[in-house]
Amino acid sequence: MMEAIPKEGRENVYIAVEGYWKSNDGLVYAEHGQQIGADVNKFDGWPTNPFLMHVGTRHLVQPWGEQFVQKFFNEYEEKYPTIDNLSEEISGIRYVQAVEGKLRGTTNALGKAALFILTQTSWAQTGGILEDINGKTPPEWEIKTLKISLDTNDQRWEFLIKSLPKGHGLRIALEASNSYPPLELNDDELKSICSRRWTFHKLNSDSGIELCPYNKESLSRIGQSLYDSTASLFLFSAKDARYRKHLKKVSSDLFYKNEKTYKFSHFVYGHTHMVEVNYKPFKSDEKWKPIIFNDGAWQRTVTPEQFCAIYKEKGIPKKEALSKMQPEYLPPCYPYVVANKVNGNIEMKLLYWVQDINEQGESNTQCTKLPINIPRDCEL
């Protein structure tokens, strides 16, 4: 592997066979991200033994998320070349459902995808909308009351399915199933799902989504920031819990490996398409509260709104966009993270390598090739 790198640059390259990289001062910890607990693409046994033996041959274990996504994308990518270039991979599912009218996949895989969407995906876009809804944050959910109505497996599946808006591809596919595998929902997941339901309901009262039981007095909270500790409890509960559990385990593992410094201040990973910077899963009053950076995927990616703006700019009809759009039509921007030490503190920056075909590349603080204007009918 190292032989593929020019000799004059090899001293700056380190192959992290341990499954992670840590700066010399221990303040920055980086990994691919497939070690994170409830992540759909987690490798069991990573990094020491993510393998299995089959008929005498050792194979790399394929996580369920990758199995689902690959099965889905492998089936459709030849027909729709840019389906894997959307900033949120799951958006591709919506496009295919809109074009073909149905989705294929096992109930278990589709259900896990639905659960991941409702509890783990980014709130970046939804967050801006929430702040515009009369300045309110979601109410305080009565989880104990809710759980009484989720006593059976069928009730839990119905709750999960009906947490997606009417017409959503996953909801349609799951409603068509007649057999549901065992499903458990913990309190953090229920809180996050209830807050997603609240958002969908506020945005569209005809979404077919009912609110979870809630504390009526909590609706009087006006003007709170979406990102304060109270809102975080409701909106980010499952996602934050997943990060906190993983980071504490990483810190503990480093301690037991006799690493000199194990209380890192910044955690970097680049496993998913969606860029996320300065994410803070710990409460502000906690003594140790590392900040998370997800530098996205090293490929051309766009949001659904940008995708829409590009196919409109090229005069491609909406119904034909998915089949006619090519990866080279998308902005040639590739995100990465740079860490510097300034006055003893870590300063993290998200940068983009911008380089189109036959052009000289450059590093920039933003993707300079994105559509400048998003047509109104492209906005979410």
* pTM for the predicted model, two decimal places: 0.64
In a domain, 87, yes or no: no
Confidence label for 83 from pLDDT (cuts 50, 70 and 90): low
Closest CA relative to residue 308, chosen from 126, 103, 97, 95? 95
What total number of domains does the chain contain? 1
Find the helix packing angle between 107-119 and 153-161, rounded to 10°: 60
Quote the pLDDT of residue 196: 84
CB 164 within 8 A of CB 201: no
Confidence label for 133 from pLDDT (cuts 50, 70 and 90): very low
In a domain, 214, yes or no: yes
Three-class secondary structure of residue 195 per DSSP: helix
In a domain, 304, yes or no: no
In a domain, 92, yes or no: no
Q: Which letter does DSSP use for residue 339 in this model? A: E
In a domain, 29, yes or no: no
State which H helix or E strand residue 108 sits in: helix 107-119
Quote the pLDDT of residue 231: 39
Longest dimension (CA), the chain: 66
Counting residues of the chain whose pLDDT is more than 70, the rounded percentage is 70
pLDDT digits (tens, 9 = 90+) for 187-202: 988 988 988 888 777 7
Whether the ω angle into residue 47 lies within 30 degrees of 0, i.e. cis, is yes
pLDDT digits (tens, 9 = 90+) for 28-52: 999 887 777 655 555 666 666 667 7
The residue range of the domain holding 193 is: 105-234
Quote the pLDDT of residue 86: 67
In a domain, 181, yes or no: yes
In a domain, 76, yes or no: no
In a domain, 32, yes or no: no
